[in-house]
Copies of this chain bind each other. A is one copy, B any other.
Amino acid sequence: MLDLTKIRADFPILHQQVHGKPLVYLDNAATTQKPRAVIDALVRYYERDNSNVHRGLHALSMRATDAYEGARARVAKFINAADPAEVIFTRGTTESINVVAHSYAARLKPGDVILTTEIEHHSNMVPWQQAAKASGATIRYVPFLGANVEDGLDLAQLDALLTPEVKVFAFTHISNTTGTINPATAFCAKARARGIVTVIDAAQSIGHETIDVQAIGCDFLAFSGHKMCAPTGIGALYGRRALLDTLAPDETGGGMVVTVDYTGARWKPAPERFEAGTPNIADAIGLGAACDYLDTIGRPAIAHHDAALAQLAREKLSVLPGIRILGPRNGEPRGGLVSFAFADIHAHDIVTFADEDGVALRGGHHCNQPLMRKLGLTSTTRASFYLYNTEQEVDALVASMRRTLKFFGVT
């Protein structure tokens, strides 16, 4: 059980009113709020240690380097990577996936297949479409089951789709649109048995549940700090060491080269090879502080809390007239979010009315246009929960929905 009073006190932003109502922040799948400890880590860095890293021998530079590399080790521990060098700092999930996709674009050939799924975020779909285009490879999608994705991906199809031509299998851990949880460990086992490289989009799982890359058995894992209490502008790509050192870097420049002359350059090994230029030092340190914060609270408890609130919301929303709820059924495992649509009221009107009640929701296609189209929807409303949300906030959500339905004459 989480101590919500204590946790809420850690987040300065929560204690404000919006349109005269207490803020009920239920847009956590888009980005999470930041605890005091993370904000303080940034301030401390800029007030005491700020300096460029790696190439410096003076006191500040050594402190900054230690803090930056310490953050890398901290993130490695957070996901149980075997080696800190397997953690590459990026701007976030999207950049992490682009780094892998660009590298594979350079080595895939016509005839090769990139496998992904129909429920991916644009950030784990468009980069692979581009990689396919650049290399001549083909892209295939694992379809989903059930009109509202109730049954997740079609696992029978998955087996049939994992043919010898498949070189990369990229899939989301938890869908940001449906809350569907993919069995990542099982997927990776299937792929590994066939020598297929796995890339997991962990944007929606990293902040909630314990992620152990060695137990999952993935080759790459991408995530964003801003979805796990860390600052914006920082995230990571985990890659297995043996693979990382074979990949060509995406960006080049200072800091990632061993030697340069006027004709060419030689790359350092990972992680430097993938971190051209001055890195986002302060926010990497902030990400380390976020790992500390989440592990102090305890990720199993957070995962349980977030999923329980989503369950509760799903249950309470499901009785509203004309509602269509995506993803797992009442009582079935789901990520900490619930996404729904009303027949006659558009998500944007819902979100605008909810905002008037202080309730922050997201409405739209959630960067998942193809899925929306397949579901016959243009948009949904999404409520997503995090460690500081309460059952009362679920009630505020439902009450706001009722008020809006009433205004639009839906009963």
Contacts and interface: CB of A to CB of B under 8 A. Distances in A.
Interface of A: 12-13, 16, 18-19, 23, 25, 27, 30-31, 33-34, 38-39, 42-43, 46-52, 55-61, 91-95, 97-98, 118, 121-127, 129-130, 133, 141, 224, 226, 231-234, 250-255, 257, 259-265, 276-283, 348, 351-352, 354-355, 359-364, 367, 369-370, 373
Per DSSP, chain A at the interface is: mixed
Q: How many copies does the complex hold?
A: 2
Contacts of A278: 31, 92, 94, 224, 226, 232
A188 to B, nearest CB: 22
Contacts of A348: 57
A232 B265 contact: no
A264 B232 contact: no
Contacts of A25: 60
Contact of A98 (B58, B253, B265, B280): B253
A56 B43 CA distance: 28
B27 A50 contact: no
Nearest to A364: B55
Nearest to A134: B106
Given A130-B252, A262-B141, A282-B232, A94 B50 contact: no
B259 A369 contact: yes
Given A39-B47, A58-B354, A98-B252, 4 more contacts: A13-B46, A61-B360, A122-B255, A127-B251
